[in-house]
Amino acid sequence: MNFDLRLPIGILFTVYGAILAVYGALTLGSDIYKKSLGTNINLIWGCVLLVFGLLMWIFAILGRRNK
Amino acid sequence: MDSNAINLTLIDYSILAVYILVVIGIGFALRRNMKTADDFFLSGKSIPVWVTGLAFLSANLGAQEVIGMAASGAKYGIMTSHFYWVGAIPAMIFLAIFMMPFYYGSKARSVPEYLKLRFDEKTRGLNAIAFAVMTVASSGASLHALAALMHLLLKWDYNVSLIASSIVVLAYVLKGGLSSAIYTEVLQFFLIVLGFAPLVIIGLNDLGGWTGMMSKLPETYAHSWKYMGTTANPMGVEWFGMVFGLGFVLSFGYWCTDFLVVQRAMAAKNMGDARRTPIIGAIPKMAFPIIVIVPGMIALALMSKTGSTYHIPNGITGETDFNLVIPSLIAHYLPTGMLGLALTALMASFMSGMAGNVTAFNTVWTYDIYQSYIAKGKSDSHYMWMGKFATVAGILISIGFAYVAKNVNNIMDFLQLVFGFVNAPVFATFLLGMFWKRTTGHGAFFGLLGGTLAAVVFHGLSSPSILAAGETIPWIKGAWIGAHFSFTSSMAQNFWLAIVAWSVCFVLTILVSFATARTKSDEELKGLVYSLTPKIREENEPIWMRPAIVGGLVLMVALILNIIFW
């Protein structure tokens, strides 16, 4: 089966990472982060998801090359 | 203001929408691969092992698991980890090392079909019908829980939530069959881990780390074994009932014989991968208490933190509803954005719980009931069509069950009870079938019936608490014949019920087997019974690929975890 799940995982989390990181950057210092103890969790976690998503892309591309 | 309500913004909605687009996209991408019935029901045995391994773990990661384990975390503390480090892990390793060779090697397409090959038609029929009813009912329970929660938290309309999530599941299962379900389960695994992890991190930070959390919890919540000598612990279960009832009977019964999870391993490319599937699933499973149990403990500790206004919300009945632990923590800690991600993860777990049940149902229905009893010898495309029809029907019946659950009090408790009766003895049947060639079809069938009956009778004779003179309890809790055995919690009652049912099935199967003649020759049982099957040679495999060695390592880590949290 020529379907590599790493690609959709990569897409999903890159998009999520981008949405959260950009939104986090736009809301720096906003009151909505009182809930999360003052941490801009959107920005931080957005970056984490972005890295995870991009890693999945890279693995998928490397996997394709090895075939 | 209603403290339960959560307001979503555009950002949150777009995160949910992206998830739905991606899962439906996966269904459509897989559509081209669905050429034969085997592709649809068994994924054409072509899925990479890391995917089947994670799917094996997350097929069980439905809402009942995520919501329920967090609730138990708040009720019992670290003792809840028994469900993982005593229950699931040893059973998963046992399946990988000892049982998978027979499931995969027998070429059976389902667990009931294995029973047909090993024993006879009636044993398969019994197991197939019980399983089919059970899967659609739990799919309905998942659906009801999702819609009820969305209504409570987001004020979404119950009917709209129900129908909309059914349509999403229908769309991707119909297009991509088992492959779709497996792939979305893996997606959901990452979503749950990455969606809930910030909750745990922020929560622990708020409480002053692990030690800070523990200092706000009762001493019994900090130990998994220390208070297991008697029933004087939050669970009300002593160690024998725990180890034998939960660790042996219930966990092995579920992880080693439930087609919902075994189906994932059967979709692997070859025998080696099929055996590695449960082991790969077991590794993250060991760490899962961090994601699902710790939030429950955070919620409880947070209530006694000075200056905190958080409390676990009340349910419809007005009592503290521990099932709301995760949703209420999400609302408490996560700002819009992360909020959407965590809620999407929660919804994904409900939907894939439903998809998993539906794919197990359509396979058992088509192969074990329809092809065996209703329409034999039809063309492959006919069975493929029936599989799709069964998918639609399974989802419609689930919707029906969801409405029944909504309107009839206790119906789900009742079904849970019935499944308990059916499931408790079943592991004895498989154990004897796989490891004792003398076991006969009559032995298996009557052992199973007798074990189930013993469970029913035991339920009628036992009560979950010590009753005062003249005190009565609803029949659904037991003691409808008379309270001859009293336990200190319903969990203890359940574990002992399982022990009794398993033992009766075990003994009865042996007795009836001795009294009846074997109907299958040694030749016919080759590949189905341990002593008649050539041992799998794995000396040529690298060490990290050998199920026995890696499985042993995983067991050792589980043992160490038990000791650390003693």
Q: In this predicted model, what pLDDT tens digit does every residue of B150-175 receive, in sequence order? A: 888 888 889 998 999 999 999 888 88
Q: Hey, are the CB atoms on A1 and B202 less than 8 Å from each other?
A: no
- The DSSP-derived string for B205-259 is HHHTHHHHHHHTS-GGGG-SSTT-SSS-STT---HHIIIIIIIIIIHHHHHHH-H
- Best residue in B15, B49, B182, B194 for a mutation probing chain A (most A CBs within 10 Å): B194
When comparing pLDDT for B153 and A67, which is higher? B153
In the predicted structure, residue A1 carries a pLDDT above the cut 60? no
Q: Which positions in chain A touch B179 (Cβ < 8 Å)? A: 1, 3
Q: Which of A35, A46, A49 is the closest to B334 by Cβ? A: A35
Structural domains of chain B, with CATH:
10-27+38-407 (1.20.1730.10), 411-534 (no CATH)
Average pLDDT over residues B189-202: 92
B91: Cα separation from own chain's centroid: 13
For A18-22, B190-194, B395-399, B558-562, which range has the lowest pLDDT when averaged over its residues?
B558-562
> Residue B451 — pLDDT band, cuts 50, 70, 90?
very high
Query: Which of A12, A22, A48 is the mutation pick for testing B, counting most B CBs within 10 A?
Result: A12
Does the pLDDT value for residue B412 go beyond 70? no
Rounded to the nearest integer, the mean pLDDT of chain B is 85
- The candidate with the shortest Cα–Cα distance to B68, out of B491, B392, B533, B445, is B491
Please compute the mean of the pLDDT values over residues B39-45 and round it to a whole number: 81
What pLDDT score was predicted for residue A67?
Answer: 62
Band (B4; pLDDT cuts 50, 70, 90): low
Which candidate, B481, B493, B486, B480, places its Cα nearest to that of B468?
B486
On whether any CB of chain B is under 8 Å from the CB of A12, the answer is yes
Residues 6+ apart with CB under 8 A from B534: none
pLDDT band at B46 (very low <50, low <70, confident <90, very high): confident
How much is the pLDDT for A2?
65
pLDDT at B464 over 60: yes
Cβ–Cβ contact B212 with A under 8 A: no
Nearest residue, CB atoms, A42 vs list B19, B206, B337:
B337
Chain B residues with CB-CB distance to A21 below 8 A? none
Task: Choose between B334 and B218: higher pLDDT.
Answer: B334
- Dihedral of CA atoms B354, B360, B364, B370 in degrees, nearest 10, equals 50
Cβ <8 Å between B187 and A5:
yes
Q: Which of A3, A5, A16 sits opposite B18 (nearest CB)?
A: A16
Task: Give the pLDDT band of residue B20 (cuts 50, 70, 90).
Answer: very high
CB contact under 8 A, A41 and B198: yes
Confidence of residue B272 (pLDDT cuts 50, 70, 90): confident
Task: Give pLDDT, residue A55.
Answer: 94
Contact between B177 and B43 under an 8 Å Cβ cutoff? The reply is yes
Judging contacts by C-beta atoms under 8 Å, the chain B residues touching residue A50 are none
Note the pLDDT of residue B1.
Answer: 33
In which band, very low, low, confident or very high, does the pLDDT at B2 lie, cut at 50, 70 and 90?
Answer: very low
Average pLDDT over residues A18-33: 87
Does A50 lie at the interface with B, CB-CB under 8 angstroms?
A: no
**Nearest-CB residue to B25 (from A8, A39, A49):** A8
CB B177 within 8 A of CB B387: yes
Q: Classify burial at A38, counting beta carbons within 10 Å of its beta carbon; exposed 0-12, middle 13-18, buried 19 or more.
A: exposed
Decide if B149 contacts B470 (C-beta within 8 A).
no
pLDDT digits (tens, 9 = 90+) for B495-504: 888 899 999 9
All residues of chain B having their beta carbon less than 8 Å from the beta carbon of residue A19 are 11, 14-15, 18, 337
Mean pLDDT computed over B472-477: 78
Domain range list for chain A:
6-62
Put simply, whether A22 touches B (Cβ < 8 Å) is: no
Identify whether the C-beta of residue B485 lies closer than 8 Å to the C-beta of residue B462.
yes
- Can you tell me the mean pLDDT for B385-412? 86
Asked if the C-beta of A15 comes within 8 angstroms of chain B's C-beta atoms, the answer is yes
pLDDT of residue B509: 93
**Contacts by B449-452 with C-beta closer than 8 Å and gap 24+?**
B449/B126, B450/B425, B450/B504, B450/B505, B450/B508, B451/B424, B451/B425, B451/B426, B451/B501, B451/B502, B451/B504, B451/B505, B451/B506, B451/B508, B452/B421, B452/B422, B452/B424, B452/B425, B452/B501, B452/B505
Task: Give me the half-sphere count of Cα atoms (radius 13 Å) on the Cβ side of residue B126.
Answer: 21
**Is B19's CB within 8 Å of A9's CB?**
no
Chain B positions touching A60 (Cβ under 8 A) are: none
What percentage of chain B reaches a pLDDT higher than 70? 98
* Angle subtended at Cα B169 by Cα B163 and Cα B173, rounded to the nearest 5 degrees: 145
% residues pLDDT > 90 (chain B):
20
Query: What is the average per-residue pLDDT within A15-37?
Result: 87
Cβ–Cβ under 8 Å, residues B235 and B489: yes
> How many other C-beta atoms are found inside a 10 Å radius of the C-beta of residue B547?
25
pLDDT above 80 (res B543): no
Q: What is the tens place of the pLDDT at every residue in B202-212?
A: 999 888 888 88
- Overall average pLDDT of the B35-61 stretch: 85
The DSSP 8-state label assigned to residue B80 in this structure reads G
**Phi, psi dihedral angles at B353 (to 5 degrees):** -60, -40
Shortest Cα distance from B435 to chain A (angstroms)? Answer: 35
Q: What is the pLDDT of residues B330-357, one digit of tens each?
A: 888 889 889 999 999 988 888 888 888 8
* pLDDT tens, residue by residue, B279-301: 999 999 988 889 888 999 899 88
CB of B341 within 8 Å of a chain A CB? The answer is yes
